[in-house]
Structure 1
């Protein structure tokens, strides 16, 4: 018997289009056919982002409300976070600027750490994610 395959990771979002658009631009993804922005966005409750070849990467599910993670404080845990990598410290700096320009908030700056250079961010809905030098 084979193991199940991961289809995509789903993130809850109050503002589903804003959240999907942040991740689309950050990861250079495309919308699944039919999920592109358009009239009726206020009624959309599910969006999917794929690679150019159609491979699913992330999906977004509308929720009425959600508590933002308070990481590093433990009141509201992360519950899930995504780890992204770059090859060099220069790329890390450029991606930090790019993520912030798209609406991310820096939660932790360890870009000067000799062992593991990284930033921890919150996306527009408050989901933590990391970008680090691999």
Structure 2
């Protein structure tokens, strides 16, 4: 039997660790790893690394503080390419529209609209730190 590495989580660089973690926590219904919750009672939040999990504790996304992060300008050439993106599926077009609207209300930016594609309707959005992600019917 082959021995392969196991994916632990995907890490996103950001200049605002808590802000980006909150965006994905709200968008995807995730929770903080124990100990990574926001500080209580207005205490300073100096987090430079946070992890989000699903209900059973499996890690999904982590966020790492960086000093600067050039935003992708995809799909407009030339410039900074996408480099990496995350894909999320929804069951139907109604859910696609609903989740696009939720993402936008949470601070996402619409980068590409292919919602009229009969075979694979999708939106490409960028999270508040500029990382692209796709929402599509799958």
Q: TM-score range by the shorter chain?
A: over 0.9
Candidates 84, 90, 109, aligned match of 1:86: 90
Q: Distance in 1 between matches of 2:126 and 2:102?
A: 13
Give the drift of 1:40: 2.9
Normalising to structure 1: TM-score of the pair?
0.96
Structure 1 unpaired stretches of 5+: none
Q: Distance in 1 between matches of 2:47 and 2:67?
A: 12
The answer for the alignment partner of 1:67 in structure 2 is 70
Candidates 97, 100, 116, aligned match of 2:101: 97
Normalising to structure 2: TM-score of the pair?
0.93
Structure 2 unpaired stretches of 5+: none
Residue 124 (structure 2) pairs with residue 123 (structure 1): no
Q: 4+ residue runs of structure 1 moved beyond 6 angstroms?
A: none
Q: Distance in 1 between matches of 2:123 and 2:54?
A: 24
Candidates 51, 55, 58, aligned match of 1:55: 58
Give the drift of 1:113: 1.1
